[in-house]
Amino acid sequence: MSQEIQQTQTTCPYCGVGCGVDARQLNGQLLPVSGTQTHPANFGRLCVKGSNLHDTLDHDGRLLTPTMAGKPTSWNQALNLIADKIQQVLNSHGPEAIGFYGSGQLLTEDYYVANKLMKGFIGSANMDTNSRLCMASAVAGYKRAFGSDTVPGCYEDLEQTDLLLLVGSNTAWAHPIIFQRISQAKKNNPAMKVVVIDPRRTATCDIADLHLALKPGSDGFLFNALLAYLANHNALDQAFIEQHTEGFDAALTEAQQQCSDLEAVAQQCDLPLADLETCFEWFANSPTAVTAYSMGINQSATGTDKANAIINVHLASGKIGKPGSCPFSITGQPNAMGGREVGGLANQLAAHMDFAAADRERIKRFWQSPGVAEKPGLKAIDLFKAAEKGDIKFLWIMSTNPVVSMPDADLIKRALKKVELVVVSDCMADTDTAAFAHVLLPAASWGEKNGTVTNSERRISRQRGFLPSPGDAKPDWWMLTQVAQRLGFEQQFNYQKPYDVFIEHARLSAFENNGSRDFDLSGLAEMTEAEFEALAPIQWPINHQYPQGRARFYDDGHFYTPTGKARFVSNTPALPQKASDNALSGLTLNMNTGRIRDHWHTMTRTGKASVLAQHISEPFVDIHPTDAANAGIKDKQLVVVRSELNEILVRAQLTDAQKSGEVFVPMHWTARYSKQARMGSLINSDHDPVSGQPELKITDVSLSPARVDWQGFILSKADLFLLNDDSQRQDFECEYWTTGKTQSGYFYNVAGTGTGITLLNEIKQRLTAQAADQHSPDNQPSHNGQYQWICLDDNNQGHHRWACVCNHQLLALMFIHATHQPLTLNRGWLIEQFNNPELDRDTRLALLTGKPPGQKEDPGAIVCSCFQVGERAIQKAIAAGADSAAALGEKLLCGTNCGSCIPELTAMIKSYTPAQADELATELSES
């Protein structure tokens, strides 16, 4: 049989770095993906999430057919209902009663059609996106300063700079490939300085020459003080200020009045004065500097002002528009930039145009629409608040999960219950938001979709399909086009393929432009379909002046304001207001939120890859040991995190990387993967008055130990939540559970009050019912025999170990113990036994011990996901003399693929104690 490999070059669907991915198939069988060597974003590198994309492409949990009221239906019926409801709402309530809510997961072509339909033909601007949670403040800051939403730099600037400030960004985990490029640049140029400005000591600090662990929310004081410092130390670029900017005097006066006293600023920021002065001195004296900022700046009630404070210091020092110098917003989502290009935000129109009369008239003529929305629409928070009041009658949610990701997430639930018709188009059937949909539309997913995305440096890349869509799944642009045609706009929405949409998008960018707008794809507007299919990654603008794209803006000193000059924006920094002392009982701490290394957003995709669940398998709260002691909390204990709105139940991680007075909670866990860990339910809806971006980094919470009598874990071949005849969700009846994939099934971490026997019997009944029905999920063998239960119980100690075997194959393992009895088991070996085609006698006997026959060692917590290297092997290698991440990689391979674990490897080396070394040295000598 011939061995034919088919390769498709596409783009990663995760963060805004926009890495190229090679998807390969051998005789129709998907192979592990790899990075595209020639893609200018990643040059062949992929992070651990990207490296495991091939493990997320199965059809488990996929939404395969349209549904209405929970029952399967045809596309024709579903689309007719949607179009009829839109028309009815238009006739009865007007266009303002209709809302669309999109996502940075949409391709630019999807976004374009949604925005055109909503703003040009329905006639409302109530089209917003989860990018509002990501980079809306960065957009507003750029527009206030430059007159346009223009990212001025490129990734090469991060490598060519003398000084890099990373602000509010755990780059090592959130944008790993950018971090790898920076790390390599620093190795190549040891004189390069890196400053990390972040309240937490994160993995990014591994390469930092200076870490400024400032008080949350105090960034505005720091950058206003830097502006005053530059003026006081003759570090201004007077020629640039005079020739290319306006408003400098007012901005400087404001900064000097507020922030000239560096000692006072250091106190406001909770920083050592010497560290603050070092950072300022480096910025003033460095020939070039890049300030790369992300969610720590954007997700703030004063995020736009903070962004402008950053831009101000670059304008004042002339560090913009040249290699190695710019204020650089690093976007979070794969196509947040593409959404900005087509007007996906409620306060934008397409092609970087706004609601000025001339822009609206221009777009109306181009689209041949009945009229373009006359004013900005409702931004995300206001959109859902309007829905909760009953003002939104129709809402279409596309490729996002606001019941988890939005602040005040329980308000989102109430809002969706009020809307007369909720449409959700998604690739997965079982999301928190899908549960509230009246109509569910099956969307094509990554690997099936075809179109374009734009990354953080304005680089447009092709996302190409290489798999057929399962069932009746369709791309979002097709669904929207079909609805538009049913509303009577057949001619204006006569799209047959993504190429048709992209060409119209490019032509609109060029329409009556002539250099007046930054976004210009006129150089692509006449592409043939074959040229579109072969389109190589390229940065906009692409026009007669820049036919091969443009790496940097503003090297010519021209901005997109009415005067052609950049604007300094005066701003008055302020610290977030604390809640009243009586708002929460006990010790009040500030909760910060963000991503972890191996998961993405609400785990819709990454939750399907078993490798990605092994690094961190449970939701957690990072807490400083002092705060933990004051709250009576021990490491690895379950704790209740409570705000004024709600509470969640997560695992405590004690770490001095977390400042005292502050905690950190990850954003990813949903009702699909945990019982009570939606951190968005704790956060109120405070938001930036300019950008509308919510404050996701400042929330008052209290912590207390959870009251549980037992805890343990379950391993199962089948998903125990989906064993009902009606396929409806049924969770465990216990106080705490989390779940995820293993290489051979599913894991569940569980805890509760009373006796764990209740839960064990519940699971036994589910499996027994499965056997009685002779029903088995797709990943199960057919079982005709009776299930055999092997049990070890110690009721006095609250200790229970049960195994379920059928036809000599392992189907389930359950370990429950009293909370004061920690288990020391080899979970990795136990998971392997589910793939054992026939358990021998010794293995059966060993199952309930939790350890294999012989001396196979538990690898400990997985640190390197790519090569499955656990902490025990790493500790032994360190004890044997490995004194660098490179040495560990040479011995164990860890850190040699995606590199995401290198900061943790370095931290393990630095924190290794003589006692650990002596203990492991003894083990090594004995073995």
Virtual torsion, Cα 62, 65, 71, 77, nearest 10 deg: 150
One-letter identity of residue 800? H
Residue 896's CATH number: 1.10.10.1100
Domain-embedded: residue 286: yes
Domain-embedded: residue 498: yes
One-letter identity of residue 567? R
For residues 372 and 499, state if they share a domain: yes
For residue 234, CA distances in Å to 229, 237, 262, 289, 467 come to 9, 9, 16, 17, 60
Domain-embedded: residue 703: no
Tokens of 522: 């006129």
pLDDT at 692: 96
For residues 115 and 185, state if they share a domain: no
Which domain, by its residues, includes 145?
136-330
User: What residues have CB less than 8 Å from 70, skipping those under 6 apart?
Assistant: none
For residues 814 and 920, state if they share a domain: no
Domain-embedded: residue 648: yes
678 and 432 Cβ atoms separated by less than 8 Å: yes
Whole-number Å distance between alpha carbons of 558 and 551: 15
**Per-10-residue mean pLDDT, the chain, length 927:** 82 96 92 96 95 92 96 98 98 98 96 98 97 94 97 98 97 95 96 97 96 97 98 97 98 94 96 98 98 96 97 98 97 91 96 96 97 96 98 97 95 98 96 96 97 97 96 98 98 98 98 94 97 98 97 96 97 76 73 92 88 91 96 95 96 95 95 93 95 96 95 92 53 89 93 90 82 50 66 88 91 89 79 91 88 72 84 86 87 84 85 65 51
Identify the three-state secondary structure at position 567. strand
For residues 471 and 483, state if they share a domain: yes
Identify the three-state secondary structure at position 539. strand
Sign of the Cα torsion 405, 406, 408, 409 reads negative
One-letter identity of residue 543? N
307 and 141 Cβ atoms separated by less than 8 Å: yes
Domain boundary among 821, 847, 873: 847
For the chain, what is the domain count?
Answer: 6
628 and 563 Cβ atoms separated by less than 8 Å: no
For residues 252 and 298, state if they share a domain: yes
Strand 98-102 relative to strand 394-398, pairing: parallel
Sign of the Cα torsion 765, 768, 772, 774 reads positive
Domain boundary among 513, 530, 562: 513
C-alpha neighbours within 13 Å on the C-beta side of residue 147: 18
For residues 727 and 809, state if they share a domain: yes
Location of structure tokens 């206030």: 144
Tokens of 737: 């559970």
Residue 95's CATH number: 3.40.50.740
Domain-embedded: residue 578: no
pLDDT at 636: 93
Residue 43's CATH number: 2.20.25.90
Helix locations, 94-190, DSSP H: 108-115, 136-146, 155-160, 171-174, 176-188
Whole-number Å distance between alpha carbons of 134 and 508: 26
Length of the chain, in residues:
927
Virtual torsion, Cα 262, 264, 265, 266, nearest 10 deg: 90
For residues 446 and 370, state if they share a domain: yes
For residues 418 and 473, state if they share a domain: yes
Domain-embedded: residue 521: no
For residues 843 and 715, state if they share a domain: yes
788 and 806 Cβ atoms separated by less than 8 Å: yes
For residues 679 and 736, state if they share a domain: no
Domain-embedded: residue 554: no
For residues 592 and 632, state if they share a domain: yes
Whole-number Å distance between alpha carbons of 878 and 909: 7
274 and 671 Cβ atoms separated by less than 8 Å: no
Buried b vs exposed e over 606-640: b needs ≥16 C-beta within 10 Å?
Answer: bbbbbbbbbbbbbbbbbbbeebbeebebeeebbbb
pLDDT at 27: 85
Cα Rg of the chain, angstroms: 28
Whole-number Å distance between alpha carbons of 517 and 538: 18
pLDDT at 382: 97
Domain-embedded: residue 52: yes
Identify the three-state secondary structure at position 291. strand
Whole-number Å distance between alpha carbons of 544 and 763: 67
Nearest to 700 by CA among 665, 655, 650: 665
Whole-number Å distance between alpha carbons of 13 and 15: 7
Query: Which residue pairs from 833-842 have beta carbons closer than 8 angstroms and sit at least 24 positions apart in sequence?
Result: 834/715, 834/717, 834/742, 834/744, 834/745, 834/809, 834/810, 835/743, 835/744, 836/809, 836/810, 837/808, 837/809, 838/808, 838/809, 839/805, 839/808, 839/809, 839/810
For residues 837 and 868, state if they share a domain: no
The pTM score is 0.93
Domain boundary among 808, 823, 847: 847
